[in-house]
C-alpha cells in the first residue's frame, strides 16, 4: 500500500500553538546566545571527534530496536499486529524527522498515519503511537525520580516530597474523572481506560514495555554522558547522571525549533545547580544534539530507499495504463 504524501503529513501546522512552539524554541536559543555568546554553540563542533559520533550511532541501534519493540508490543495489545522489521525501519524514519523538524513529534505523526493507512485503521494506529510514546515518557519520569532519590544531586532533599505529590496528583485525577454515564467525557475516559488495560497493563505487554523503555532511557543517558566527555567535562558519571536525566525530561517538551531550544535551555539551568557553568551545560547539550542527528541519519537513508522503490512501480504503471486506454478507444 502506498504511503500518504510526505509533504502533506510533515508540513507543520500553521495554527497559533504550532507557531508558539517554534517561537519558544527560537526564543530560548536567542536568550542563550545573548547571555552566553556563540562559543558554547560553536566550540563543541570543533571538538567533536569521529569516535563520539560512532559511539552515538552504535548506541542508537539497540535503543531504536527497543523503541520499535515497544511499539510492536503496544500495537499487539490493542489488537493490531506489527512486524518488528517494519517497526524498526519506520522508527528510524520518525526519529530522523523528529530531529530535523519543529516540535519533535511530526515524525511520530507520520509514523502513525502511514501505519494507519497500511492496516486501514487510522484511529487505532494513532492511539498506538500515542500510548507507546506516553509509556516511554512515564518510565523515563519514574527512572528520573529514582535516580534523583538515590544519587547525590541538588534536588535530592526535595525529591521525596515531589514523588509523593506526583502519586497524590495521579490518584486524585484518576478518582475525579467520570467513568459512568452517557457524557462524552465519561465515554472518553472509558475508552482510555480500556486502551491502558489492554495496550499497556496487560501481562503480555507491560514487562516488555518497561524493559524496552528502560533500555531506551539508558541509551539516551549514555549518549549524553559521551557528549559531556566530548565537550570536555571531566565530572564523574554519578554526579552528572541526575543532571542528564533532568535535561532529557526537558528535551521531551514539544517546543523545540528543529530539535533545539529546550534541551540547551534546560542544560543551562540544571548544570549550575550542581556547581557547573551554564556554558558547559549548553556545550554538552549542543554536542549531544549533533550526535543524535548523526545517529538518526539511517532514518534518512531508509526514507530514500523507500522512495526509490516506489518510483519504478509508478513508471511501470504508465505503459499499462496507456495500453488500456488504446484498447478502450479501439
User: Which distant-in-sequence residues (6+ apart) come within 8 Å of 217 by Cβ?
Assistant: 139, 140, 143, 245, 248
* Rg of the chain in Å (alpha carbons): 22
pLDDT above 70 as % of the chain: 84
Asked whether residue 97 is domain-assigned, the answer is yes
Q: Residue 188 and residue 174: Cα distance in Å, rounded?
A: 13
For residue 260, what are the β-bridge partners? 257
pLDDT per position as a tens digit, 239-293? 899 999 999 998 887 777 666 888 888 899 889 988 889 999 999 999 999 999 9
Residue among 175, 179, 207 nearest 192 (CA): 179
Asked whether residue 201 is domain-assigned, the answer is no
> For residue 273, what is the DSSP state?
G
Asked whether residue 286 is domain-assigned, the answer is yes
What is the structure's pLDDT at 9?
A: 42
Instruction: Give 293: exposed, middle or buried? Use CB within 10 Å, 0-12, 13-18, 19+.
Output: middle
Sign of the alpha-carbon dihedral angle for 91, 93, 94, 98: positive
Q: Residue 32 and residue 235: Cα distance in Å, rounded?
A: 23
Asked whether residue 163 is domain-assigned, the answer is no
> Is residue 248 within 8 Å of 143, Cβ to Cβ?
no
Q: Residue 219 and residue 225: Cα distance in Å, rounded?
A: 10
Give whole-number Cα distances, 270 to 80, 95, 102, 241, 288, in Å: 41, 25, 23, 12, 15
User: Which distant-in-sequence residues (6+ apart) come within 8 Å of 154 by Cβ?
Assistant: 273, 274
Asked whether residue 177 is domain-assigned, the answer is no
Asked whether residue 200 is domain-assigned, the answer is no
Asked whether residue 135 is domain-assigned, the answer is yes
Residue 215, all three cell numbers: 533500555
Residues listed for the chain: 330
Q: Residue 60 and residue 43: Cα distance in Å, rounded?
A: 24
Greater model confidence, 35 or 177: 35
pLDDT per position as a tens digit, 192-227? 888 888 888 888 999 999 999 999 999 999 999 999
pTM for the full predicted model? 0.83
Query: Angle, nearest 10°, between helix axes 50-77 and 297-329?
Result: 60
Q: Residue 321 and residue 60: Cα distance in Å, rounded?
A: 44
What is the structure's pLDDT at 294?
A: 94
pLDDT per position as a tens digit, 142-176? 999 899 888 887 777 777 787 788 788 878 877 77
- 292 is in which domain, residue-wise? 6-143+206-308
pLDDT per position as a tens digit, 87-103? 999 999 999 999 888 77
Asked whether residue 34 is domain-assigned, the answer is yes
Please provide the DSSP assignment of 64-124 as one string.
Answer: HHHHHHHHHHHHHHTT----HHHHHHHHHHHHHHHHHSTTS-HHHHHHHHHHHHHHT-HHH
Greater model confidence, 105 or 12: 105
Alpha-carbon torsion angle 261, 267, 268, 269, nearest 10 = 110
Band of the pLDDT at 82, cuts 50, 70, 90?
A: very high
Number of domains observed in the structure of the chain: 1
pLDDT per position as a tens digit, 120-137? 889 899 999 999 999 999
Amino acid at each position: 500500500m502506498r504511503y500518504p504524501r510526505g509533504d502533506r503529513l510533515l508540513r507543520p501546522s500553521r495554527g497559533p500553538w504550532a507557531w508558539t512552539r517554534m517561537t519558544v524554541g527560537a526564543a530560548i536559543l536567542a536568550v542563550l546566545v545573548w547571555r552566553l555568546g556563540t562559543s558554547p554553540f560553536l566550540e563543541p563542533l570543533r571538538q567533536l571527534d569521529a569516535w563520539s559520533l560512532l559511539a552515538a550511532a552504535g548506541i542508537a541501534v539497540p535503543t531504536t530496536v527497543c523503541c520499535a519493540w515497544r511499539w510492536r508490543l503496544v500495537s499487539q495489545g490493542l489488537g493490531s499486529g506489527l512486524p518488528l522489521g517494519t517497526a524498526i525501519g519506520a522508527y528510524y524514519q520518525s526519529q530522523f524527522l523528529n530531529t530535523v523538524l519543529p516540535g519533535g513529534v511530526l515524525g511520530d505523526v507520520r509514523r502513525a498515519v502511514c501505519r494507519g493507512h497500511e492496516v486501514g485503521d487510522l484511529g487505532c494506529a494513532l492511539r498506538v503511537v500515542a500510548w507507546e510514546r506516553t509509556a516511554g515518557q512515564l518510565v523515563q519520569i519514574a527512572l528520573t525520580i529514582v535516580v534523583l532519590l538515590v544519587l547525590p544531586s541538588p534536588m535530592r532533599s526535595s525529591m521525596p516530597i515531589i514523588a509523593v505529590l506526583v502519586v497524590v496528583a495521579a490518584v486524585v485525577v484518576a478518582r475525579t474523572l467520570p467513568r459512568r454515564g452517557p457524557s462524552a467525557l465519561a465515554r472518553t475516559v472509558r475508552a482510555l481506560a480500556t486502551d491502558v488495560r489492554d495496550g499497556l497493563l496487560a501481562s503480555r505487554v507491560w514487562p516488555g514495555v518497561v524493559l524496552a523503555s528502560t533500555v531506551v532511557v539508558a541509551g539516551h543517558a549514555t549518549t549524553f554522558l559521551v557528549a559531556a566527555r566530548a565537550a570536555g567535562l571531566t565530572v564523574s558519571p554519578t554526579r552528572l547522571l541526575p543532571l542528564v536525566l533532568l535535561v532529557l525530561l526537558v528535551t521531551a517538551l514539544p517546543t523545540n525549533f528543529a530539535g533545539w531550544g529546550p534541551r540547551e535551555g534546560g542544560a543551562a539551568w540544571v548544570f549550575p545547580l550542581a556547581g557547573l557553568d551554564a556554558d558547559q551545560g549548553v556545550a554538552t547539550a549542543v554536542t549531544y544534539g549533533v550526535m543524535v542527528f548523526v545517529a538518526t541519519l539511517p532514518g534518512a537513508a531508509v526514507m530514500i530507499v523507500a522512495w526509490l522503490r516506489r518510483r519504478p512501480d509508478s513508471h511501470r504503471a504508465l505503459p499499462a495504463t496507456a495500453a488500456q486506454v488504446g484498447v478502450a478507444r479501439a
